[in-house]
Structure 1
């Protein structure tokens, strides 16, 4: 597993010990990279090559028995699962919050993130796609995630159309935005028809202009294979 100090937007010595085990094209890892950038937290990037099976190594399994990325190491604290990591960062580093102050809007932001994290993204994990291809063939490897992406985005478009401002929930960057950008990238990979989702496209274009989101892009990671 490769290690490199990642570009960041902060200089806080309290967070210099953060280590992020990541894979360049993992949407879950991407979420955490965005959050770290938004909060200005420096971190060490520890690349885990999922294609080569490095997540199955004894070294990584000791950190994360589920053998997924991302994994965040903060001193003696080890946290897996992107949502758990994001909530940990939000509690420990409350500057540049990832949730609106208003309770209802906070719930909407979490609802949007959960819709992506629970309903859409898990069905396009590499292990799932490999199993689909093994059982159903190569055509279903693409059709399977495309179906669930478009179904989930239909619900998300309806939700955010009511609450979006400049970003997903009003004009403040929130957890919903952090989940949305990587999933739209995934939608394009699987040829989802994004013309059906004008609200999501508009939000994604606004987020694409922000340097914190740009720095988290897959192609800008040290382990990128383009």
Structure 2
């Protein structure tokens, strides 16, 4: 099957970053097409025709336009032979989903930059309010995530190979670093970070490797 994946993404988008990691782990050579959030390129008629939410990423694969990062990753797992993004056994699948959802559905929504910016505008707090908001909720979320990891073993979030959970954690750690959140006290999380740091699928998915899109 000639899949020809094309990923419409933004370099610093956590959701896009997750999918880039997953595609790399599956060995799917993908064309990246940057959509510049800063210029509103995600709100153009052409982009909204693919993704009515105007969110990133959108993955074009198998003749389909797929949206929502975790749904995309689950689709890739189900349609790619040999995928290990989810474990074989149901209990393992539950744990990986639990971890992935804890990032994507708990930390990410409240720490979306548009949310923090709106809070800052409503309170008149400026950049300091935005930074404090991000630090508070990222730290709170990662504290809970560290607790969830106590029920798993191995150098990754679950076991001895990367899964969908790692695809979610590593972009969240990028955001933690960006906002000055100290993660050194999270022993299991830092083990996962060090393990993935040396792996090519994670390195080439990193925002610094992808690079910012040119101004439009």
Contact 1:27 1:183 in 2 (8 A): yes
Structural mapping, 1:133-212, within 5 Å: 133-136=120-123, 137-138=125-126, 139-212=128-201
Task: Tell whether the 8 Å contact from 2:35 to 2:213 is kept in structure 1 after alignment.
Answer: no
Q: Which residue in 2 is equivalent to 1:14? A: 2
- Quick one: distance in 1 between partners of 2:134 and 2:55? 19
CA distance in 2, matches of 1:64, 1:96: 26
Which of 59, 70, 84 is the matching residue for 1:83? 70
**Alpha carbons of 1:222 and 1:155: their partners in 2 closer, same or farther (altered >3 Å)?**
closer
Q: Are 1:56 and 2:43 an aligned pair?
A: yes
Q: Which residue of 1 aligns with 2:105?
A: 118
Q: State yes or no: 1:104 paired with 2:75.
A: no
Unaligned segments of structure 1, at least 5 residues? 1-12
- Structure 1 segments of 4+ aligned residues over 6 angstroms from their partners: none
Take 1:100 and 1:93, find their aligned partners in 2: how far apart are those partners? 14
TM-score, normalising length from structure 1?
A: 0.89
Provide the rounded CA distance (Å) in 1 between the counterparts of 2:116 and 2:43.
17
Structure number with the bigger relative contact order (C-alpha 8 A, sep ≥ 6) is 2
Distance in 2 between residues matched to 1:76 and 1:149, nearest whole Å: 37
Tell me the SS of whatever aligns to 1:60.
helix
What is the alpha-carbon distance in structure 2 between the residues aligned to residue 173 and residue 219 of structure 1?
A: 21
| CA positional deviation for 1:224 | 5.4
User: What do residues 23-64 of structure 1 show as CA deviations (whole Å, max 9, x unaligned)?
Assistant: 001110000000100101111111000111111111111111
SS in 2 for 1:116: helix
Residues 50 and 58 in structure 2, CA contact (< 8 A), matched pair in contact too: yes
For 1:75 and 1:112, the matched residues in 2 are separated by 28
The number of residues matched between the two structures is 212
8 Å Cα contact 1:181/1:204 also seen in 2: yes
